[in-house]
Structure formats: structure tokens, C-alpha cells
Structure 1
Amino acid sequence: MANQKRKVSFYYLSLEKQTFIKERNTTQIMPLSNEEIEEYFKKIYDKKMLELENGNKAVDVDTTYSNYVIEIIEYTDHLAFAKIGQQNYANTVALRDKNTLETEDVPMSATQLLELYTFCLIDFETGIVSYIGINGAPRISAVRGLFDKFLHEENVYAKLAAIMTNDILQTLVQKNIISKLSLTVAVPNDEVLSDTIGLSSNDFDALRNVKTRTATYKLVATRNKNIFQSSGKLAELIATIKNKFGNNLRGLTVNAKNLNESSQTYDLLQYNFTKTVTLGGEDHSVLLEDDFKAALRNTYISNKDELLKYI
């Protein structure tokens, strides 16, 4: 098998506990420490996951987009190496001979499903999640779903935000005018549904033949005026948006310019921190789990110091 190039993306995992204060009629949101996050993971790992014949542990996770299985292959020294699998039915896949182009059904029992999978590495000391992107592979949101499945009854919720480099922020904060900010998010929350477009969450869920469910919000300044009191506030707002919407953030753009130039649009999601890795070699017929683990671990360790600057 020839060398395969894959993209490693990096995310920041956080948990927050929501407590309703009756006397004030408000909800207090308290971010949890990395140590507390790992303690919650240990509880899930020890008490909620099934032990497999190979010694690994796994659990099924349902999210808005799909059903996944997360299998923990190795958990040691605050690092969890996991396989994220997404199941597919046999009637949508087949085996094809690369020489004859003939196909045949995939042999499967009644309880088996064909699984597409990828891998991720979670460092609980830093909160950084490294994820290998493969076409058709499960979404990284499965990691957030793992925590939400078991912790929502304790009013603890996970956030997963792509880590963005500061290069683009340095460019933007030096601009004289930031005239517009647009963000697109998937599946608006109940408050937006009821207050903004007049739909209850049940009405929205009842819609059929909807290709996508997104909402776009635009903050537009008066002509030749800055929407921020200081451009440095942009970084704070971006961090808040990423933390709030996590993987549901589908678009984030900013229009900016200096006084003597035309306004330009900057797509901030194009500036996420990613690295390209090479997997396999000419003498490899298959890629092993250890190949993915080594790629994730080596890429993360070599970029760890720089990543820590951006979170």
C-alpha cells in the first residue's frame, strides 16, 4: 500500500456544570478542571463501558447526526487512545475485486453491522483532542456525545471546539475596521426556535425532508464603523462562540479593512490548527491501529507547546 496522507485536527475538550439558583432564578455555569473531566471519564470507563474479548472497553453513543461506538484501545498516563466507529448496513456496501471488478455481498450475521471508523487521542492533562480525518469517517462530535450521554442527568455538558491559530487573529486585530461578523450554527437551540422563528422544538423536529438545519446570525456595523470598541475584543468573542457551539459551528466569517482599502471577508474556520501526517509505506499491505496511534501521538507531542498557546 502506498503512503497515505491524512489530516490531523485538534480540538479543545471542556466540561461545564449548570446549577439552577432558585433564589435568583438564574443558572450558574461552572467550568470544570481537567482533573475533574478525567474523573468523569474514569467513571464512564470503569462503570458504563462493556469489556470486550480483546480487553478493550466500548460503549454506543447516539448523537444528533448518527449512532457511534467508541472503543477505548488504551488508557494510561492521562492519555486515551480511542476508535470511533459508525455502523452501516450490509445492503449499502459490497466487496469488489480490483482486477475483475466483480462484487459480492459482505458476509455478516444478523446482529452485525459494517463499521467505518477513525481514531482520536485525548490528553486529559491539557484537554486537547487529536483526531484523524478520513473521508466518510465518524464525526469528532462523538467524543462530546460520550460525556453528554452519561452526564446530562448531573447537568454536566461537554464542549468541543476546534483550536484555531492566532495568525489570523493577529492580522484582524490590526485592522482599523471590523464591520461585520457572521456565524452559522447547526440546529438552533429551543430559545432561538421559539423566540426568533416562532417554532417550538417539537414543531422543528417534526419537519420532514429538511436537508440541513442551520441558522445564520450577522452583526453588521454602521458604515465605516467598528462593531467592537477595540479590535482585541474579537478574540474574546471568537473564543466564546467556539466554546458555546463546538462542533455545531458551521460557519464563521469576519469582514475587515483598513481606512484606505476595500473590505475583505476572512473565513475563520479555514484557520484551524491542522497537520498532515503520512501513514503506511510501500511494504505495508494494511494499516494497523499502532500506525494510527503513533501518528496521533507523535504529531500531538511535536506540536503540543504551540497548541497550548492557542487554548
Structure 2
Amino acid sequence: MFLFGPQFDPNKCKVQLKLAVSRIQILKNKKANLVRDEKRHIAELLRNRNEESARIRVETVIRDEYLIECYNIVEVLCELLFARLPLITATCEVPSELKESIYTLIYASQRIQIPELELIRKQLLAKYGRGLEHEVNCHCQTYVNPKIVYKLSYVTPEPFLVFQYLNEIAYEGKVDWCVDPIPPPTASVGVAPGPSIMMQQPAPHMSMFPSGNNVVSSNINKPSYQTPTPPPPPPAYTPTPQPQFPSVPTTPATSTSQPAFPAIPPQYTPTPGGPAASSSSTATIDEAFPDFDELTARFEALKRQNNMN
């Protein structure tokens, strides 16, 4: 912030951000209509076999479509800064989460002719100092959106991209136009490839030269690749032996086998001799036991004896 220069005004910056969004939407619609008309004109040139003029005009179409894509990115960034304006007001340095957005907006305002973007750039420089503009230009490859850097550059479109656009325009305009396709360009000396081509190039191989008086072989610049060793085969499967149990002999069941039942008591066998034998046995039993009267007499004798004593 400068003492005698423009001061940062949050309200003014907020208004300019909203106006920039509205202006970008109008410019997008206008540019899209111009691109549509230009494609129709290019289709007529291809129908009339005027390919040279069509190639020149299609480069303008490519730049216009690039510009429409940049409009979309800048519109989103303006809406983001509008939502994060309290954070910008409260900080004295560029917030880390808004660094890419602020750097991209300042970078795009120098290459897109929109008055509102110019005022927004002045407000940001008044907030963070004029050295911010120089830092943006020096670190555009680091902090600026790479799509903005690539699509706002003044590099002539590649021939394969021109052929691709011409093919699409001929297909949309239903023009019978056929040309041998041009392969994508490869990196060559003196030609700066596009971002996608630079990403696809492998890193150069750094070879080490032998020390001493050894002769440098012809394979010194060739990358040395080691043949991958195949993994060892898995061990063969050996089944685990199952424990052997002794076999229990089984007795085959027969139809004559019956379950065991308790023994039947022996039948009663009468005593030989008939009733006479039974009477004699009864008499023997009676002789073994004393008679009731005899027992009563004995009891009375004992009773009298006790009384006398």
C-alpha cells in the first residue's frame, strides 16, 4: 500500500469483480457467434477447394476458442475472489490459498482487453504493492494457471491441430474434403513443443564416463537395462498324510440273531409222593415249633415266679 498512490478499496473491488463476470459472459456469447460464422465460411472455402485460405482462417478460429476457454477460467476466478474478499482485506500478504488465483488474474488482465480486469489489477497492486506485477511475470510458469499461459501465448498453432479443426469443420458442414492426416509433432531442435508434448517426453539418460585411460565404448550413451529375473516357481503341493485308524471288525447281522432276554425261571415241579409226602413235611414243621398252649403255660409259670420273688 502506498501513502500517495491509489488506495485499496474493498467495496470498489467487489463491484468490479461482479461487473467483470457480467462483461465476460457477454464477450463469450459474442465470440461464440463469431466462431460459428467463421466455421461456416471456412466450410464454404473447403467446398470450393480453397484450402490455403481455409488454413489461414482456421488459425483465427483456434485462437478465438482458446480465448473462450480463458474467459471461462477468468470468470471462475473472479467469482472466487468475490467470495474471498474479506480474507484479502484482512491480510497484508497474498494468502497461500489464493496465490494462484490472484497471480492468474493479474497475468490475464495484461493480455485480455477487459476494462474491469484492469481496475481489479490496480486494486490488487494497491493492496500488495507494485512489485507483485513483476513477480507474476517472472514466475508465470510456477504460480499462474498453465492453461492461461498456454492459450494466451502467441505461438502459431501446430499443423496437426489445424488439420484436426479443418476435418471437424468439413464434417459439420457436410463437405466432401479429405486430406492425408498429419501426425502430431515431435520435439525437435529450435521448436518449443506444447505443454502436452513436453509432458510426454522421457527424461534424458545421464551416462557416466569411465575414469582413467579406458577407451569409451560405443554403448556409453545407451541406457543400460537389467533383464528382470523371473520370480521362483511356487513349491509343489504335497498333501498331508491322513492318520490311519485300526479297522474294527464288524459281525455281520444274521436273520436268526435275537436280542438277549432275562432267563425264564424253572417251572415248579411237584414233590413226588403226593399228599402223603406233603402231610409228613407239615408234621415235621409243626414239631420244630412249640404249640401255642405250651407257650402260654410257660408264660404263666414265669409270671408266677416273678410275683413270688
**The two structures share one fold, judged by TM-score above 0.5:** no
Q: TM range, normalised to the smaller chain?
A: under 0.3
* TM value normalised by structure 2: 0.23
**Structure whose residues are more often strand by fraction:** 1
TM-score by length of 1: 0.23
> Over alpha carbons, which structure has the higher Rg?
2
By relative contact order (CA 8 Å, sep 6+), the higher-ranking structure is 1
